[in-house]
Amino acid sequence: MKKEIKVLGTGCPKCKQLEKVVRTVVEENSIDAEITKIEDIVEIMNYGIMTTPALIIDGKIVLKGYVPSQEEVLTKINES
């Protein structure tokens, strides 16, 4: 089943780093996923996110406020 992954962030260095980590993990592990980058602050706030970057997998907020390791992202994807 295809994963729906959303990276929320306004474009700051940490937000860009999170997007890079997520894309690397998805590619290296051949995960069937659609990755969307959300930079609009109003849309981010609609998710209840006040601290970026944030990661949403299949509609569930799995992390916010920091850039995780590739291993942690893979774990979050596999748990979702």
The residues assigned a catalytic role are 12, 15
Return the H-helix or E-strand segment holding 57. strand 54-57
| Distance, CA of 7 to chain centre | 3
